[in-house]
Structure 1
Amino acid sequence: MNMERIIGALGARAEDQRKLILMAPVFFICGIAEMLNYNGFMTLFNQRLGSEYLPYVYAAEAVILPLEAWLLSWLAARLPKPKLMRVMYGMMLGIVAFNALVLLTLKLAGVELLWYYPVLFIFSNFVVRQQTILLWSLAVDTCQTQQAKRLMPIFVGAATLGGVAAGLLAQAISIGFGPETIYAVGAVLLLIAWRNYNQVIGKYLVPLSLKAEASREEAPALTTGAVFRHALRSPFLLTVILLMTFMPALYFLMEYQFLNVTRITYPSEQEFSRYFGMITMVLFILAFLLQTVSGKLMAKLGASQMLTAISAVYVLSFAAAVMLIGSSAALPIISAGYMLLYLLLYYSAEPSYQIFFKTFPLAQRDSYRYAAQGIAASAGIMAGAALQFLHSGLGLSWTLLSLAGLCGSVLLFGLAWIGRKYYMRELVSSVQSAGELDLTEQFEELVRNPAAMARISGMLKEENDPAKEIALQIIGRLQNPKDLPELLKLIEDPIPRIRVAAVRAMNLEHADLTAMVKIAAFLEDPDDELRAEGVRQIGRMKHMEHQALYFLRQKLLDRHPAVVAEAVKAMYSFNNAPSFEACAEVIHRILQEGGQASVYICRVVAELNLKEFISEVGKLVQDQHPAARVAAIACLGELGEDGLLPELLQGLPTMDQEMTRTVFHYFVQIGERAVAPLLGSLEGAHPKRWTIAIQALAKLLPEEEIRSRLIESALLRLAHLDDAAAYGAAFAAMGQEDMAQLAGLRMHEVRAFYMDGVWSVLGALADEQVVEAVRKAAGDPDEEIRSNGWEVLAEGVGDRRLSQRLLVLLEQEDSAGLLDRLPESGAQHVMEQALAESDDWWREMAVAAQQGEGENVSQEQAMGRLNKVVFLRQVPYFADLSLEELGLIATIAKESVWADDAKLLERGTPNTAMYVIVEGNVELTSTSAAGWEGTIGVLGSGDVCGVTSALDGTPSSVSAQSLLGEVRVLELAGDDMARLIRLYPEIGMGLLRASFARIRLLEEMMMRIDS
């Protein structure tokens, strides 16, 4: 409980606990190691070789960087992501450990190798640079988007506190030891962090990397040369690259001044190292404080103004250096400048650059980003080395060197100012083709710039309707009352979408009566969506309560229930007692009527938490309209009414997908009150009931109770599949081939039910994203991907026993014929087991097999569910459906008998049902354009008529009547079939395939007639 409170205080959730406990120490320890390494090699290089050689080392780094990028790209192309992450960490650990060993050996031997320090600098700087990238890459790859938003600030805080700890540790170590020891301690800490780092990869990254995205089509990546050529043609891109180049170059100049001034002030290694440690500590304390306000600063200033403000700090820092570099205040001024530029460059400027690239097309955005960063990285280091060389090579004084930095800062400020204007221009251009996500990200930038918003407002006058819609989305988010006059002009637009978007974008909280009257005109518009939006806007006009309520009361009698529902919500928002009475009367009436209209009112009752209507909503659970039943259950779940729980548990086996999902959410919303009934229902439960109960319990129970209460139940269910696998073989041995085929279908469905439940339990015990990746990989058609997924299950994910038992099931499923062997006890013993099953399908099959039913089903006058299913499987329309889908169709199928010459369909008359012929013949006739009537064809057992008119509600194009005696049919209501097609696309596909076959047959008939 204490841990949960701590995690909650950090802004994380309970499901983040396992990942947080593993990863936060990695960031903290590696943060310490990184800064100790940096302190160690910078002290050694500057004190023993001399900071005047920094320009040459940086120049060498600029040359090496492309080779480094090539090496990393080569490794990334040849290694799986988890192995790459391990190899990279091992490479860095090896570099630091080797250097630490060399340094300690040289110190013990009393040997000084000056040429070694540039090598140490280059390799150690590679580790510092890549370590940060590696850790953030690991965090991004292992955290889904919403989880990353919660955990990234914690990881940043852990790394920052690691820097503070490194500063304190460096000061403590430097008292009795040298920089070699500081460097070596960093290597030891990297080794300590390896255990957690490796566990994170094994538990999270390996499963998530099972299925590579190689099949996903991507736009071809742009080369660096192509980006450079584009930059020469694009002032905006060129400005961005120059900013990304000059900002680090000027930082390197300030760093050079800081290191030299510090070395002059503290000539001994111990003093230098101690001061450097103190600066590191202060730097990361400031970084930690900056993290608390950086989000607010970015929200207030935006990316472009943020970079302009950072450039201004650069100017002030170098101006102070020019004035005070020769005084006694040089060290504190230069140190402060160094810390400021470090913080602003790495903690504020880098995120701002990333926002700039959002103006580029999504498919090529990463290519532009990486290519521009590659150009700027090499050019920035080279430019920084050139600025440092002005002092080390040309002998420029410190004052003149600071003056050069000041001139560069002024140039940087000018670039940032110009770039701000270019950015706004690009941003406005990009929103015309932006998606919803991009608009969300770009909105804050647009609203800060009056010129940009003026251009957005100008888009309202364009003829381009998509441009108008985008402009209305942006203006609607701003909700500025000053935009109302322009928006009112659009309410006469001929395009309904534009009118709705314009009304939605209006802020009417302070509008006058004229505006209200114009909006009220929408309340009689023939478009239902527009009337509903008009009601919503009238409801926001609280300053004219009486007038608003006058219009809203009229809409309580609107012809569309969605508009009535909006009127009820709007009237409740006024908190007016007479309005409550009027609304209650409408709610009572619609709930009593039931049907489709009650769906909207149920949602309103739930949203407004109107518990006084619980009893009336409860009656809708038995409504004849499925949508009303679903809405009622969802509403009662929102209201926390648990009285339905036993009834819903009992009815789960016969529910369709939509109802099943709704019931699952109902159980979860009820919360702790659902736990005891759900736990009590697990033993001996129908497969579907067990699955939904176990999935709900996996959401409701803490990890300890899941392990103690659900694991055994899941293991027993998987073991039960071994017994159920024999049913098909037993039916076949008894000569019941129809039952054997149905048993195969049911076995597949039951296995799917149990596996859904097991995966839910594993997901509750491990990271859901990881378990979902393993699940996809374990069922992948590619053998290598599938075997990798199985390997993760073998290692154990969530719970080792359950994971490995699931693997056994998957391996059995992959082995043809392994599951369907008849046991030695014989078919009769198997039938006795089937009769005792909790699954009604197995029981019905066993009864039918023992009684010899299933043969000559069409001769029986009354068809049970199983007989209907056996028959429907022989109909081409339904031949490829699962047993669950066939069962749902059988449930809605009504058996009826039509006398001889009775008309099932009448040409030109609307038809509400389709008919599946069980016995008898049906003649299809139609009338030609010339007025003569002719026979199109004669249908027999297994044929279907009336499909098209039943599903689309159009008059029948043919007449159908019984021929040569009675006709027995299964009647399927069009509304029920349409709903099943929506929930089960395979049903619709079956209808399409059969329809296409009939069309081909008609085409062949026409060809024969023509010939």
Structure 2
Amino acid sequence: MDLQRWSRRLGIKAEDRRKLWLMVPVFLLCGIAETLNYNGFMTLFNQRFGSANLPYVYIAEAVILPLEAWFMTWLAGRLSKPDLMRAMYAIMTGIVLLNAIILLGMRVTGEDFRFYYPFLFLSSSFVVRQQTILLWSLAVDLCPTQQAKRLMPMFVAAATLGGVAAGIITQIVSPLLGPDWVYALGPVFLLIASVKYRKVIAVYLVPLTLKGSGDSAQEAESLTSMDYFRRTLKSPFLLGVLGMMTIMPALYFLMEFVFLNTAHVAYPDEADFGRIFGIVTTLLFTLAFLLQLVSGRLMALLGASSMLTAISGVYVLSFALVWLLIGSPIVMLAVSGGYMLTYLLIYYSAEPSYQLFYKMLPLQQRDGFRYVAQGIATFMGILLGAGLQFLHTGLGWGFPALAAIGTVGAIGLFALTWIVRQLYMKELVQSVQTLGLAVDLELAESYKGFYRNARTMGAVQAMLQHESEEAREIAINILGRSKDKRYLPELLEKINDESVRVKIASLKAIDLSDADLNAMVKVASLLEDPEPEVRKEVVGKLAQMKHLSSQAFFFLRMKLLDSSPMVVAEAVKAMYLLESAQSYEACYEVIEQLLKDGGEPAIHVCRVVAELNLDRFSPDVEKLLADPHPAVRVAATASLGALKRLKVVPLLIERLPTADQELLRVTTQALVDMGVGVADSLKSMLPDASPQVWRAAVTALSQLLSDEEAKGWLAEHATDKLGNIAATALLPEAYRKLGRPDLAELAEMRQCDLESTIYAGVWALMERLTDEQVVAAIRRALADPDEETQSGGLEVLAEGLGERKLSQKFAAVLLADNDRTAGLTIESAREAVNKSAETSDDWWKEMATELRRGEKGTGMQEEQGILGRLNKVVFLKKVPFFADLSLEELGLIAGAATEEKFPDGYFLLKRGEGNPAMYVIIEGNVELTSISAAGWEGTLGVLGAGEVCGATSALDESPSSVTAQAFFGDIRVLALQREDVTRLVRLYPEIGIGLLRASLARIRLLEEMMMKIDS
């Protein structure tokens, strides 16, 4: 099975593979280094300094932790995030490298500085602790939430496999060379990993940390650490969580102490101790790897609170078993097993559960509570653990007594987790009630912990009668997620709620897959609800009742004539899902008729055809590509893409040069949906493609081609395309040299359009070659008005992002300034224009043709009184409504506008009547008149060339408030129909802003004129 098939099976996307290729080796090698360091310094400390001294170094570590936190805070405040990550990695590598040199130096000289081993322990423990934080912080920063869900298991697997490998290395190296060589191998692996580590930072982290000039530092948290501490003490729930976070690591330190001392007695020889430590490490990380395979299912099954209760139960069993078996021949097996279990559960299962507890708090306060709790728990946990160890080293208590104390402590921990679990249920319900829907989805995973708790579910049921519709909706969502059929009566009752939102939520929560006829009838009673959304949900629910297909068919058939096209389409889909011959026949008949009729119903049916993959209707959908309604053409395009109708690709491509933004986006996605079958066609048309076609083709190919082709052939083609932009960049100045400033302005607009279109395709390719998040950060930096911020973005590109040649060429094009037009002569300007006439770009051809026409003396004149596209664009550019639009957008308006001529006295608008179009006056005058409240009729004003009338009434379909009449002669106008205007406003907000600006000016004029009339 090839790599891409495995990637699809694991849910790995193309952009994920690049991150995995760089980051998995980092986690693997650092996992090996971390475990080798840990095995090495623990063996050396226990064998050469004595495990009896562990409590003292733990106390020292507890004292050092606040200083460590202060140092990290100080360093983070003075370095950027990438520099901080590099500096911390260098510091950690330097520490273990220095320790390795000292250890090997002592070995060579035969010296043994006993006082050095506490320093070795504390410094190496710092490295192990910070290395874990560093790597996971890097992974979280680089991966958006959804990508993190896919990749984190891979990173965890790499780190745990690194631990397994380190355990095997320890078993081999320690008996042969000793634990000091085991430790010395750690920095070697860190140095090897540093190559990819630094590349990860350069490729992903540096772009993400680019700051815009408008970015401001986040406001300081209004609560102080002491405030969080006080609130934690006042909350029984948070105090209980803090207790668990403190006691559990303390018990782990106790188990570790018993294990190390037992192993020291059983294996007094340093080499043997190192070997057994390697065996335990290998088993430990093998178990960790296996645990990762089932941890997600365990969390889903038990929930956070029950998971911690189960972990506490394992702690009780581990200590009890050690207590019972101390002094027996198999005590080493029991102690090592207890050590491995407590280590695994605290670091791989308990920590994620703790994080879920804090999700119930307001988002702005979560980190504050969590960091305060972690700081206190870490400090107190180490001190408590050291105190338990001191019972042996300071007071001489035996290991049976320590195991007994550990058992009692674990029982206390179990009781505490049970109490916290009950408090958690109350807090969860309360948080849902107070924080509302904003937190409902975020806490969805947490709900699994109390579906089996009758008291908690009773509180949820009580919320069904809450006066707040939001609270009722949340309660319904929780009951629906439980998938417990016992709650069906309550949910059925809420479908008649007065709130439409609650009705819809109830219908979504209900599962009718095996419900009875009474439930069907009750749900079907809403088929005539006045809200289309409600009727749609009802239809969807009836489709679930395949066991009562004939009855469901009876109800669904009525909805085929529903007044809402959305409901009709849902009914068609529902009938198909009933999977009966009768329903199939009715479904096909309705689909065929709706596709034939076209219009709005066809839009929804196209989506159903695509969703159900009904390829038999492909010819009918294909006909809709010629439908007069733009929305229908868009829906048909999307449907044909999902159906993989390859034969329509030439037609889709043919429409792209004049496509609006929505059609361009949908066509591009349709090409992607068609799959690799369109790749060859797209590749063949790229060399001579128009800019819009090139952008769509490159964007589609970026997703369809293999990694090798995308980084090779496609990146090379894009690099060449960027080079071609420099040639057309001369044209604005060329037209100025040739005495045509009007064409120079159009050429500048066209060049901007070209650059934005080509750049969009290049950015899409770079997203494939790097990461969407990284590309978005660079684009924000380049668009920032601050020169320093722009320089940072260009520097990242110049370093080589994704494919080096493409990235560097892109940076060079963006850096190019106006010096390239220096020294342009009349001859070279004419040559540049002539070359542009030979390109495939229609705009350059039209401008070159217009230049030649002007040189013959006709200038920008109309032929036979009719404006051509270029003339329309020049005219529209002068209209305030459209002054801020690009050339491509003006071209779309020019294509939608029709030129009309009206005689003197013709009424374009009549007061009190609707009008289907807005008019832009080309030539002539239009008089605006109206009637005041007093009944006086008067002239409001006279509009001339370049002004607009009828825009407001055309947009909102209201009767016109004025009369507009041709005045003093014939008039010529550009007419834009209402449908075209509304679509263009929706796609291009600048048009809407222009309309608003002009309408406000018109309102002011009307107010002034009405005041004159009344006076």
Q: TM-score, normalised by structure 1?
A: 0.96
Secondary structure of 1:605 counterpart: helix
Q: Is the contact made by 2:603 and 2:632 (CA closer than 8 Å) also made in structure 1? A: yes
Relative to structure 1, is the Cα distance of residues 583 and 10 closer, same or farther in structure 2, using a 3 angstrom cutoff? closer
What is the CA–CA distance in structure 1 between the aligned matches of 2:711 and 2:64, rounded to whole Å? 53
Aligned partner letter, 1:402: A
Q: Is the contact made by 2:737 and 2:825 (CA closer than 8 Å) also made in structure 1? A: no
Q: Give the corresponding residue for 1:842.
A: 844
Q: Give the corresponding residue for 1:347.
A: 348
Relative to structure 1, is the Cα distance of residues 54 and 894 closer, same or farther in structure 2, using a 3 angstrom cutoff? same
Q: Give the corresponding residue for 1:300.
A: 301
Report which stretch shifted further, 693-702 or 564-573: 693-702
Q: Give the corresponding residue for 2:556.
A: 552
Q: Is the contact made by 2:391 and 2:397 (CA closer than 8 Å) also made in structure 1? A: yes
Q: Does 1:704 align with 2:708?
A: yes
Q: Please give the residue correspondences for 1:812-851 in structure 2 after superposition, counting only pairs within 5 Å.
A: 812=816, 815=817, 818=820, 822-823=824-825, 825-851=827-853
Q: Give the corresponding residue for 1:337.
A: 338
Instruction: Give per-residue Cα distances to partners, 1:531-564, cap 9 Å, x unaligned.
Output: 1112112222222222211111111111221111
Relative to structure 1, is the Cα distance of residues 892 and 527 closer, same or farther in structure 2, using a 3 angstrom cutoff? same
CA apart distance, 1:818: 4.8
What is the CA–CA distance in structure 1 between the aligned matches of 2:186 and 2:356, rounded to whole Å? 34
What is the CA–CA distance in structure 2 between the aligned matches of 1:289 and 1:503, rounded to whole Å? 40
Secondary structure of 1:445 counterpart: coil
Secondary structure of 1:710 counterpart: helix
What is the CA–CA distance in structure 2 between the aligned matches of 1:130 and 1:140, rounded to whole Å? 15
Query: Which blocks of at least 5 consecutive residues in structure 1 are unaligned?
Result: none
Q: Does 1:478 align with 2:482?
A: yes
Aligned partner letter, 1:135: L
CA apart distance, 1:191: 2.0
Relative to structure 1, is the Cα distance of residues 840 and 260 closer, same or farther in structure 2, using a 3 angstrom cutoff? same
Q: Does 1:248 align with 2:249?
A: yes
Q: Is the contact made by 1:222 and 1:368 (CA closer than 8 Å) also made in structure 2? A: no
Q: Is the contact made by 1:729 and 1:820 (CA closer than 8 Å) also made in structure 2? A: no
Report which stretch shifted further, 150-159 or 385-394: 150-159
Q: Give the corresponding residue for 1:976.
A: 980
Q: Is the contact made by 1:556 and 1:583 (CA closer than 8 Å) also made in structure 2? A: no
Relative to structure 1, is the Cα distance of residues 901 and 214 closer, same or farther in structure 2, using a 3 angstrom cutoff? closer
Aligned partner letter, 1:204: Y
Q: Give the corresponding residue for 1:622.
A: 626
Relative to structure 1, is the Cα distance of residues 921 and 131 closer, same or farther in structure 2, using a 3 angstrom cutoff? same
Q: Give the corresponding residue for 2:54.
A: 54
Q: Is the contact made by 1:901 and 1:961 (CA closer than 8 Å) also made in structure 2? A: yes
Q: Does 1:724 align with 2:725?
A: no
Q: Give the corresponding residue for 2:40.
A: 40
Instruction: Give per-residue Cα distances to partners, 1:763-799, cap 9 Å, x unaligned.
Output: 3333443334333333332322322222222221222
Q: Is the contact made by 1:219 and 1:363 (CA closer than 8 Å) also made in structure 2? A: no
What is the CA–CA distance in structure 2 between the aligned matches of 1:923 and 1:1008, rounded to whole Å? 16
Q: Give the corresponding residue for 1:773.
A: 777
Instruction: Give per-residue Cα distances to partners, 1:261-286, cap 9 Å, x unaligned.
Output: 11122222122222211111121122
Secondary structure of 2:924 counterpart: strand
Q: Please give the residue correspondences for 1:681-696 in structure 2 after superposition, counting only pairs within 5 Å.
A: 681-696=685-700
CA apart distance, 1:126: 0.5
Relative to structure 1, is the Cα distance of residues 443 and 993 closer, same or farther in structure 2, using a 3 angstrom cutoff? farther
Q: Does 1:589 align with 2:593?
A: yes
Q: Please give the residue correspondences for 1:740-751 in structure 2 after superposition, counting only pairs within 5 Å.
A: 740-751=744-755
1:923 maps to which of 900, 924, 927: 927
What is the CA–CA distance in structure 2 between the aligned matches of 1:967 and 1:345, rounded to whole Å? 83
Q: Is the contact made by 2:360 and 2:443 (CA closer than 8 Å) also made in structure 1? A: no
Relative to structure 1, is the Cα distance of residues 346 and 782 closer, same or farther in structure 2, using a 3 angstrom cutoff? same
Q: Give the corresponding residue for 1:537.
A: 541
What is the CA–CA distance in structure 1 between the aligned matches of 2:367 and 2:204, rounded to whole Å? 25
What is the CA–CA distance in structure 2 between the aligned matches of 1:411 and 1:221, rounded to whole Å? 36
Q: Is the contact made by 1:739 and 1:854 (CA closer than 8 Å) also made in structure 2? A: no
What is the CA–CA distance in structure 1 between the aligned matches of 2:464 and 2:859, rounded to whole Å? 70
Query: Which blocks of at least 5 consecutive residues in structure 2 are unaligned?
Result: none
Q: Give the corresponding residue for 2:26.
A: 26
Q: Is the contact made by 2:770 and 2:801 (CA closer than 8 Å) also made in structure 1? A: yes
Q: Give the corresponding residue for 2:229.
A: 228
Aligned partner letter, 1:40: G
CA apart distance, 1:1005: 6.0
Q: Please give the residue correspondences for 1:860-1009 in structure 2 after superposition, counting only pairs within 5 Å.
A: 861-1002=865-1006
Aligned partner letter, 2:83: K
Secondary structure of 1:965 counterpart: strand
What is the CA–CA distance in structure 2 between the aligned matches of 1:430 and 1:296, rounded to whole Å? 25
What is the CA–CA distance in structure 1 between the aligned matches of 2:587 and 2:18, rounded to whole Å? 49
Report which stretch shifted further, 772-781 or 390-399: 772-781
Q: Is the contact made by 1:428 and 1:446 (CA closer than 8 Å) also made in structure 2? A: no
What is the CA–CA distance in structure 2 between the aligned matches of 1:408 and 1:229, rounded to whole Å? 26
Relative to structure 1, is the Cα distance of residues 611 and 485 closer, same or farther in structure 2, using a 3 angstrom cutoff? same
What is the CA–CA distance in structure 2 between the aligned matches of 1:699 and 1:68, rounded to whole Å? 46
What is the CA–CA distance in structure 2 between the aligned matches of 1:320 and 1:750, rounded to whole Å? 75
CA apart distance, 1:820: 8.1
CA apart distance, 1:237: 0.9
Report which stretch shifted further, 508-517 or 305-314: 508-517
Report which stretch shifted further, 1000-1009 or 428-437: 1000-1009
Q: Is the contact made by 1:481 and 1:510 (CA closer than 8 Å) also made in structure 2? A: no
Relative to structure 1, is the Cα distance of residues 470 and 817 closer, same or farther in structure 2, using a 3 angstrom cutoff? farther
What is the CA–CA distance in structure 2 between the aligned matches of 1:196 and 1:513, rounded to whole Å? 63
Secondary structure of 2:966 counterpart: strand
What is the CA–CA distance in structure 1 between the aligned matches of 2:67 and 2:324, rounded to whole Å? 41
Percent of aligned positions that are identical: 55
Count the aligned residue pairs.
1009
Q: Give the corresponding residue for 1:266.
A: 267
Q: Please give the residue correspondences for 1:333-732 in structure 2 after superposition, counting only pairs within 5 Å.
A: 333-432=334-433, 433=435, 434-435=437-438, 437-732=441-736
CA apart distance, 1:11: 5.4
Q: Give the corresponding residue for 2:94.
A: 94
Q: Is the contact made by 1:668 and 1:696 (CA closer than 8 Å) also made in structure 2? A: yes
Aligned partner letter, 2:272: E
What is the CA–CA distance in structure 2 between the aligned matches of 1:398 and 1:650, rounded to whole Å? 83
CA apart distance, 1:627: 0.5
Q: Is the contact made by 1:858 and 1:919 (CA closer than 8 Å) also made in structure 2? A: no
Report which stretch shifted further, 94-103 or 437-446: 437-446
Q: Give the corresponding residue for 1:201.
A: 201
Instruction: Give per-residue Cα distances to partners, 1:416-443, cap 9 Å, x unaligned.
Output: 0111011111111222324264143434
What is the CA–CA distance in structure 1 between the aligned matches of 2:457 and 2:119, rounded to whole Å? 53
Report which stretch shifted further, 924-933 or 98-107: 924-933
Aligned partner letter, 1:525: D
Instruction: Give per-residue Cα distances to partners, 1:840-885, cap 9 Å, x unaligned.
Output: 1111122223223996768972111111111111111111111111
What is the CA–CA distance in structure 1 between the aligned matches of 2:389 and 2:136, rounded to whole Å? 31
CA apart distance, 1:1002: 4.7
Relative to structure 1, is the Cα distance of residues 146 and 493 closer, same or farther in structure 2, using a 3 angstrom cutoff? closer
CA apart distance, 1:750: 0.3
What is the CA–CA distance in structure 2 between the aligned matches of 1:477 and 1:285, rounded to whole Å? 35
Aligned partner letter, 1:112: D
Secondary structure of 2:922 counterpart: strand
Secondary structure of 2:561 counterpart: coil
What is the CA–CA distance in structure 2 between the aligned matches of 1:985 and 1:569, rounded to whole Å? 35
Q: Give the corresponding residue for 1:125.
A: 125
Q: Is the contact made by 2:869 and 2:895 (CA closer than 8 Å) also made in structure 1? A: yes
Instruction: Give per-residue Cα distances to partners, 1:970-1010, cap 9 Å, x unaligned.
Output: 11111211111111112111212222333444556678899
What is the CA–CA distance in structure 2 between the aligned matches of 1:593 and 1:2, rounded to whole Å? 47
CA apart distance, 1:821: 6.8
